[in-house]
């Protein structure tokens, strides 16, 4: 009976500690220091001791409910350990803590590069593999598939169930929009307002299921990319409801929205007040703007990002709203991750069109070097190319100009990048009109998708584009994020297999699969050099080449058939006489005149002379 009473007391006292984060850690990390965050009523009144963990510091902030415990793990082996919280007038609290062994080769993990093809998924709208988790009693936003702005029930199991479908397209990496818990009362399906950054949203599944997704992808030689938000959290996050310190978030006398002036870091004349407005202003009222200059918060964010890499065996991050963060601190965050994983990949979302401003955020940028800055970010999104493609189909082209010059001029600016191959190239994402909405004909899709697959950089597509899914930005974001047909048990048909797709959908799917499966096995496209020729009569020609192989790409955006004088391209064709058409396997002469049908794309492969 005495043992039973003691056990009850111990369990009751332990309930005072509601959060221990990170929930576990690993031995043998590059950075051997760890900050444990302990949260519970009145914890700041306790002293922290341990017989077998080296405590170097304990920090208390304004809230009496937090302890930040710093550990030195340089010589600590994997195992189960214990912290003891002691109080002069209260019973002590014992906190178990596990230090795990790292998986073999964890530090050397390889990120994504220009040999990859990334498939972007919004999980809530892709497939519902487990209807039992559509709602959760502790989470506020409930499913209603009839409401385009509500949650629809897509989840991680739905993605796992359709990995083979995704693989058919030649995809080698998957970027999901955020999957950490978002407990906003409405509109939470987009998931960009995290309320618990250590917990996969239980309407998507569980942390274990996320690990399973990663493992299933590894079996298929696919890489998992997590969408991470450093800039803001949901108002429902426990650290926002109970701020550890007033400076944990950026606060104003009245609600103040960010200026969105993302080019400001490359502006030599920028006023300090304008920089502050960009960084400290809030994105929206429902997402608290985090102050990365607060040292405990920065450590918390850094450790959380590293924790997910180790826990879920990630290959990369896509970081949302990158320029909105405090510049030097987000650079520290990035560098800490890259120090742990030198071959890892991080792409910054910097939604700016000018390549000069894009280059600034790429590692070893010659533009940033002018001011002594280096972001440490391996990749940036190529919004310049995205905007050029959009402008071809939505913008005006003066009578003296060619619309294909818009693309040509993008590549003329590649000298501003440290490595143009480390650009993520894309035609759309979850925040833009779908490419099939603005380039609505199949021939247009073939032309721009051929561009996407053959230029420098890492190509990224968006779920459903391969079956001609559409959506217009002017109709609202929900229209860009329609449910994938066949992803729900109640759907009357499925586009996940050939028999369920329409003839048009199969045309799109088959073309995409043929193109990107070809690309998957072409190192000349992944890492080869580029030479291009100024467009003539709306025909843009460029070459990707190595010492052994050459690929000639012809994009004819003219409404009329064109004929190429192949002598113009002698610098690259040299003495080669014949090539092979990648789409048809037909032998193609590389001399004389080459007819190119209106509004078409052609890829010709041949051995470099």
Q: Is the pLDDT of residue 9 over 60?
A: no
Q: For the domain that residue 560 is a member of, what is the CATH number?
A: 2.60.40.1180
Same-domain pairing of 471 and 541: no
Given pLDDT bands bounded at 50, 70 and 90, which one contains residue 397? confident
Instruction: Out of 349, 414, 466, 522, pick the active-site residue.
Output: 349
Given pLDDT bands bounded at 50, 70 and 90, which one contains residue 395? confident
Q: Is the pLDDT of residue 5 over 70?
A: no
Each residue's pLDDT tens digit, 161-175 = 999 999 999 999 999
Is the CA virtual torsion 100, 159, 318, 274 positive or negative?
Answer: negative
Q: Is the pLDDT of residue 528 over 90?
A: yes
Cα distance between residue 347 and residue 73, in whole Å: 30
Same-domain pairing of 124 and 209: yes
Contact 178, 227 (CB under 8 A): yes
Section 436-464 average pLDDT:
98
Same-domain pairing of 484 and 588: no
Question: Looking at 177-240, which runs of residues are DSSP E strands?
Answer: 180-181, 196-200, 223-228, 232-234
% of the chain surpassing 90 pLDDT: 96
**Burial zone of 268 (CB within 10 Å; 0-12 exposed, 13-18 middle, 19+ buried):** exposed
Q: Is the pLDDT of residue 448 over 90?
A: yes
Same-domain pairing of 462 and 484: yes
Same-domain pairing of 8 and 25: yes
Each residue's pLDDT tens digit, 281-305 = 999 999 999 999 999 999 999 999 9
Average pLDDT over the chain reads: 96
- Which single residue is written with the structure tokens 């000018």? 354
Strands 180-181 and 196-200 come out as antiparallel
Residue 401 has a pLDDT of: 84
Residue 443 has a pLDDT of: 98
Q: Is residue 207 part of a domain?
A: yes
Both ends of the chain: CA-CA distance in Å? Answer: 89
Q: What are phi and psi of 508, to 5 degrees?
A: -65, -45
Last residue of a domain, one of 68, 103, 138: 103
Contact 589, 578 (CB under 8 A): yes
Last residue of a domain, one of 77, 103, 129: 103
Section 215-226 average pLDDT:
98
Annotate 296-316 with DSSP letters as a single string: HHHHHHHHHHHHHHHHHT--E
Q: Is residue 354 part of a domain?
A: no
Q: Within a 13 Å sphere around the CA of 221, how many CA atoms are in the beta-carbon half?
A: 9
Section 483-501 average pLDDT:
98
Residue 6 has a pLDDT of: 34
Same-domain pairing of 163 and 91: no
Last residue of a domain, one of 50, 71, 103: 103
Cα distance between residue 375 and residue 368, in whole Å: 8
Contact 320, 225 (CB under 8 A): no
Instruction: Out of 320, 340, 414, 483, pick the active-site residue.
Output: 320
Percentage helix, strand, coil for the chain under 3-state DSSP, each rounded to 5: 35, 25, 40
Helices (H), 341-456: 355-359, 366-369, 383-394, 405-412, 435-438, 442-454
Question: Is 349 in the active site?
Answer: yes
Q: Is residue 42 part of a domain?
A: yes
Each residue's pLDDT tens digit, 60-82 = 999 999 999 999 999 999 999 99
Strands 458-462 and 423-426 come out as parallel
Q: Is residue 250 part of a domain?
A: no
Cα distance between residue 223 and residue 116, in whole Å: 9
Q: Is residue 373 part of a domain?
A: no
Number of H helices, E strands in the chain: 18, 28
Question: Looking at 395-508, which runs of residues are DSSP E strands?
Answer: 423-426, 458-462
Full 3-state SS string of 72-135: ECCCCCCEEEEEEEECCCCCCEEEEEEEEECCCCHHHCCCCCCCCCEEEECHHHCCCCCHHHCC
Section 152-159 average pLDDT:
98
Section 93-118 average pLDDT:
98
What residues pair up with 47 in beta bridges, in sequence order?
86
% of the chain surpassing 70 pLDDT: 97
Q: Is the pLDDT of residue 105 over 60?
A: yes
**What are the distances in angstroms from CA 117 to CA 192, 359, 433, 454, 521?**
24, 22, 21, 11, 12
Q: Is the pLDDT of residue 525 over 60?
A: yes
Residue 1 has a pLDDT of: 34
Contact 209, 123 (CB under 8 A): no
Section 22-40 average pLDDT:
98
Same-domain pairing of 187 and 220: yes
Residue 16 has a pLDDT of: 87
Angle value at C-alpha 21, between 19 and 25, nearest 5 degrees: 140
Q: In what order do the strands lie in the sheet with 93-101?
A: 25-27, 93-101, 79-86, 47-49
Q: Count how many domains the chain has.
A: 3
Residue 7 has a pLDDT of: 35
Residue 398 has a pLDDT of: 82
Q: Is residue 224 part of a domain?
A: yes
Each residue's pLDDT tens digit, 316-353 = 999 999 999 999 999 999 999 999 999 999 999 999 99
Q: Is the pLDDT of residue 13 over 80?
A: no
Same-domain pairing of 74 and 95: yes
Section 395-416 average pLDDT:
92
Q: For the domain that residue 7 is a member of, what is the CATH number?
A: 2.60.40.10
Q: Which of 32, 103, 156 is nearest to 313 (CA)?
A: 103
Each residue's pLDDT tens digit, 169-203 = 999 999 999 999 999 999 999 999 999 999 999 99
Q: For the domain that residue 487 is a member of, what is the CATH number?
A: 3.20.20.80
Question: Is 437 in the active site?
Answer: no
Cα distance between residue 98 and residue 274, in whole Å: 45
Q: Is the pLDDT of residue 470 over 50?
A: yes
Section 33-51 average pLDDT:
97
Angle formed by the axes of helices 383-394 and 405-412, nearest 10°: 170
Residue 260 has a pLDDT of: 96
Same-domain pairing of 96 and 15: yes
Residue 573 has a pLDDT of: 98
- Which single residue is written with the structure tokens 């193609």? 588
Q: Is residue 343 part of a domain?
A: no
Q: Is residue 49 part of a domain?
A: yes
Residue 61 has a pLDDT of: 98
Same-domain pairing of 78 and 160: no
Cα distance between residue 336 and residue 330, in whole Å: 10
**Burial zone of 359 (CB within 10 Å; 0-12 exposed, 13-18 middle, 19+ buried):** buried
Cα distance between residue 293 and residue 230, in whole Å: 12
Cα distance between residue 65 and residue 37, in whole Å: 10
Same-domain pairing of 116 and 211: yes
Q: Length of the chain, please?
A: 609
What range defines the domain where residue 592 resides?
526-607
pTM over 0.85: yes
What residues pair up with 600 in beta bridges, in sequence order?
556
Same-domain pairing of 80 and 146: no
Q: Is the pLDDT of residue 3 over 80?
A: no
CB atoms within 10 A of CB 518: 17
Contact 250, 287 (CB under 8 A): no
């Amino acid at each position: 009976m005495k043992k039973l009473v003691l056990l009850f007391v111990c369990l009751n006292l332990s309930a005072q500690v509601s959060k221990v984060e990170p929930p576990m850690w690993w031995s043998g990390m590059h950075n051997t220091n760890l900050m444990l965050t302990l949260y519970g009523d009145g914890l700041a009144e306790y002293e922290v001791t341990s017989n077998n963990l080296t405590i170097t510091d304990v920090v208390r902030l304004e809230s009496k409910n937090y302890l930040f415990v710093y550990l030195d793990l340089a010589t600590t082996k994997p195992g189960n350990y214990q912290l003891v919280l002691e109080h002069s007038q209260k019973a002590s609290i014992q906190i178990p803590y596990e230090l795990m062994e790292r998986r073999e080769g964890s530090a050397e993990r390889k990120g994504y590069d220009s040999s990859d093809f990334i498939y972007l998924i919004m999980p809530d709208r892709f497939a519902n593999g487990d209807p039992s988790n559509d709602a959760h009693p502790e989470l506020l936003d409930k499913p209603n598939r009839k409401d385009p702005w509500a949650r629809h029930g897509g989840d991680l199991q739905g993605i796992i169930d359709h990995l083979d479908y995704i693989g058919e397209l030649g995809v080698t990496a998957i970027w999901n929009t955020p999957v950490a818990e978002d407990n906003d009362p409405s509109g939470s399906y987009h998931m960009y307002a995290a309320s618990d950054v250590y917990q996969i949203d239980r309407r998507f599944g569980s942390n274990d299921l996320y690990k399973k997704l990663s493992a299933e992808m590894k079996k298929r030689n696919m890489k998992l990319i997590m969408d991470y938000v450093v800039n803001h959290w949901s108002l429902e996050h426990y650290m926002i409801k109970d701020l550890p310190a007033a400076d944990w978030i950026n606060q104003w006398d009245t609600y103040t929205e960010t200026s969105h002036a993302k080019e400001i870091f490359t502006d030599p004349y920028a006023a300090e007040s304008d920089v502050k407005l960009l960084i400290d202003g809030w994105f929206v009222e429902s997402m608290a703007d985090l102050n990365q200059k607060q040292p405990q918060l920065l450590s918390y964010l850094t450790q959380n990002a590293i924790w997910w890499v180790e826990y879920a065996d990630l290959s990369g991050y896509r970081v949302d709203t990158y320029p909105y963060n405090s510049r030097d601190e987000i650079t520290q965050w990035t560098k800490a991750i890259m120090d742990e994983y030198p071959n890892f990949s991080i792409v910054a979302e910097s939604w700016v069109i000018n390549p000069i401003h894009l280059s600034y955020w790429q590692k070893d940028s010659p533009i940033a070097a002018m001011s002594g800055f280096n972001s440490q970010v391996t990749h940036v999104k190529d919004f310049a190319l995205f905007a050029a493609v959009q402008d071809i189909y939505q913008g005006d082209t003066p009578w003296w100009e060619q619309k294909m010059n818009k693309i040509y001029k993008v590549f003329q600016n590649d000298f501003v990048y440290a490595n143009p191959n480390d650009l993520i190239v894309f035609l759309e994402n979850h925040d833009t009109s779908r490419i099939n909405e603005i380039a609505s004909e199949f021939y247009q899709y073939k032309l721009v998708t051929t561009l996407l697959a053959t230029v420098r950089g890492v190509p990224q597509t968006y779920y459903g584009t391969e079956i001609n899914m559409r959506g217009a930005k002017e109709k609202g974001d929900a229209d860009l994020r329609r449910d994938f047909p066949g992803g729900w048990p109640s759907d009357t048909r499925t586009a996940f297999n050939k028999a369920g797709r329409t003839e048009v959908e199969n045309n799109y799917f088959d073309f995409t699969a043929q193109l990107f499966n070809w690309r998957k096995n072409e190192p000349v496209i992944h890492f080869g050099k580029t030479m291009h020729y100024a467009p003539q009569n709306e025909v843009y020609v460029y070459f990707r080449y190595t010492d052994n192989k050459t690929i000639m790409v012809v994009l004819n955006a003219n409404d009329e058939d064109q004929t190429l004088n192949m002598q113009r391209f002698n610098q690259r064709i040299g003495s080669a006489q014949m090539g092979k058409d990648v789409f048809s396997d037909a032998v193609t002469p590389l001399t004389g005149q080459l007819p190119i049908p209106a509004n078409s794309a052609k890829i010709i492969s041949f051995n470099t002379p």
